[in-house]
Amino acid sequence: MLNSRSNHVLVIDFGAQYAQLIARRIRQAGVYSEIVPSTMSVDEIRARNPRAIVLSGGPASVYVEGAPQIDGSLFESGIPIFGICYGFQAMAQALGGSVEKTGNSEFGRTKFTADQSSKLFAGLDSSFDVWMSHGDSVFEAPNGFQTIGRTNGTPVAAFENQDGTLAGVQFHPEVMHSENGQAILQRWLIDTIKLRPNWNAENIIENEVINIKSEVGNKRVICGLSGGVDSAVAAALVQKAIGAQLTCVFVDHGLLRKGEAEQVERDFVTATGVNLVVVNAQEKFLNALSGVSDPEEKRKIIGREFIRAFEAAARELVSTGEVEYLVQGTLYPDIVESGGGTGTANIKSHHNVGGLPSDLKFKLIEPLKNLFKDEVREVGMELGLPSPIIWRQPFPGPGLAIRIVGEVTQERLRILREADFIVREELQLAGLDREIWQCPVVLLADIRSVGVQGDGRTYGHPVVLRPVSSEDAMTADWYRVPTEVLAKISNRITNEVREVNRVVLDVTSKPPGTIEWE
C-alpha cells in the first residue's frame, strides 16, 4: 500500500497568520504537509525526512536582533526549499543576499510582473495581481539565483536557483487574493521538484483503517456523536475499520436545529450501520437552563449536563464489557493550536465530552488529527455519508442556547428553530449554502419591537442574520447576501413565524465582532 504521508512537506512557521493556510494549499496540490516551529533544529528537520520545505511568512524583520533565523546548513541538505514573504527574506539573507528596509512597503493587492522563462512562472501570464504584506524587501538576490519577478515597489519579488529547487516569492501565494497562487505552488511542488500528488481521501481512509485496526485489535470503542461533521466522519471511519466493536452515543440535549437530531438517528445510522445509543436528555437540559440568561453560565450548565448524560451512557456500556477506547473528532488545527501531541489527556470541551470522570479512563482514537476541515468533508463524501451531514455549517457545542439572547425556553427554541430553518432553506435554494462559512440566526428574546401584521399592531421579537465568509473562523467578514435573497428570507420569517416581526442583518467583521453573539 502507498503511504501518502511519506511524500511530505514541512512548513516551517515563523509566526505567520497564514501558516495553516500554506499547509492546506500544499495538501490541495495532493501532497501531505505538516507545520513545525522555526525553533526546530536542522538535525530534527533532517530526521523527519521531508521531501521539501516551505518557509512561512512572519511579523518580524530578519535583520532585527532576536528575529527567527534559518541555519544556513539547511540549504546544504539537498532538500528543496521554497520561501514565502518573511521566509523568502530569511532565505535570501541565509544564502548571502541582502534584505533592507527600503521605505517601499506594500500591503494588499499589488501588480506583479513575472519572468515567463523561469521554471516557477512558465506558462503563466506575464503580469497578475498578488497579495503583499511587507515593510522590508530583498535588495539583492543571493549568488547563483536569478531574479524572476518584481513589482513597482520591490525589484526582487521572486527568485530561483538554476534548477528551481530553491525558490521563493515576496507575496503570499496561499491566499485567495493572489492570482495564480495555487498554480505557482503546484508548479514548484509537482513540476519542478517532482513530488507525487498522492494525498487524497481514498488514501487517507486506507491508511487510517489500517492504523485503527492495528491499534484497537478486538477491543471495544465508544464515540460521542454531536451531529456535526467532525464527529460523524470520525465515527464513520472507525466503523469502517472495526464494525460492531464501535458503539456511538448521541446525547439529544434538545438544542440542535430543526431536523438535525433526525439526521443523526436516522440518516447516519442508515449510511454507516453503526450501533447507536440515543440519550434523550432534553427535559434535563431545559430544567437546568431555566431562568439562566448569562451566556457563560449557559455554557457551563450545558457542559456539565452533557458530561452527566454521556457518563451515564458510558458506564452502562462499560458494565456490559470492557470499553478501552474513545473516538474524538480532533482536527489538525486543534493539534497545531494546542502546541502538541495527543494521548490520554483531557477531552476537548468543544467535542462535547470534556471533563469525564477520572475513573472513566479511555485511550483516545483521533482518526482526523492530521486533517483540515475541507479534507474531513472529502473523507466523509468518500465514505458515503449523507450530504446534509457533510456540509453542515459549523455549529457551537452549546447549540441554539447561545443563539438565544436571554433565557432558553421550549417556546423560544421553537421560534428560533423555525426562523433558522427558513434561512438555511433559502440559502440552499439560492446556491449559497456552501459558499457561506456559516449563518447563525440569533433570537433577541429579551427584546421586543413594535410592528404591524395584518390589521393590528404587534409586539414581537427581532431575529438577527449573521452570514459570514471565512477560511478558518479566526477572521471573518460578513457575507454580501443578494438583496433579493434577504428580502425573501425576511418575508418568509415574518409571515411564517408569527412571533417575529423584525429581521435585521449583522454587517460586522471579525475582528471586532465574534461570529456568535454569545
106: annotated active-site residue = no
Distance CA 32, CA 304 (A): 38
Distance CA 86, CA 458 (A): 59
**Residue 75: phi, psi to the nearest 5?**
-80, -5
Distance CA 394, CA 430 (A): 19
Pick from 438, 430, 331: nearest CA to 374: 331
End-to-end CA gap in the chain: 48
For residue 270, is it left (φ>0), alpha (ψ between -120 and 50) or beta? alpha
Do 80 and 193 touch, CB atoms closer than 8 A?
yes
Pick from 40, 29, 38: nearest CA to 4: 29
Distance CA 379, CA 203 (A): 10
> Cell 451566556 belongs to which residue?
295
Distance CA 299, CA 310 (A): 16
User: Which amino acid belongs to residue 48?
Assistant: R
Q: Which helix (H) or strand (E) holds 477?
A: strand 477-478
Q: 284-300: string of b/e by CB count within 10 Å (b at 16+)?
A: bbbebbeebeebeebbe
Pick from 248, 83, 98: nearest CA to 161: 83
Q: How far is CA 103 from CA 147, 154, 255, in A?
A: 20, 10, 55
Catalytic residue among 172, 253, 351, 461: 172
DSSP letter assigned to residue 503 = E
**Residue 221: phi, psi to the nearest 5?**
-135, 145
DSSP letter assigned to residue 359 = T
Distance CA 7, CA 13 (A): 20
State the pairing for strand pair 145-150/106-114: antiparallel
Catalytic residue among 174, 260, 426, 499: 174
Catalytic residue among 8, 34, 85, 208: 85
Q: Which three cell numbers stand for residue 150?
A: 518584481
DSSP letter assigned to residue 6 = S
Q: 302-332: string of b/e by CB count within 10 Å (b at 16+)?
A: bbebbbbbbbebbeebbeeeebebbbbbbbb
366: annotated active-site residue = no
For residue 93, is it left (φ>0), alpha (ψ between -120 and 50) or beta? alpha
Q: Is the peptide bond before 511 cis (omega within 30 degrees of 0)?
A: yes
471: annotated active-site residue = no
State the pairing for strand pair 477-478/468-469: antiparallel
Do 25 and 56 touch, CB atoms closer than 8 A?
no
Active site residues: 85, 172, 174
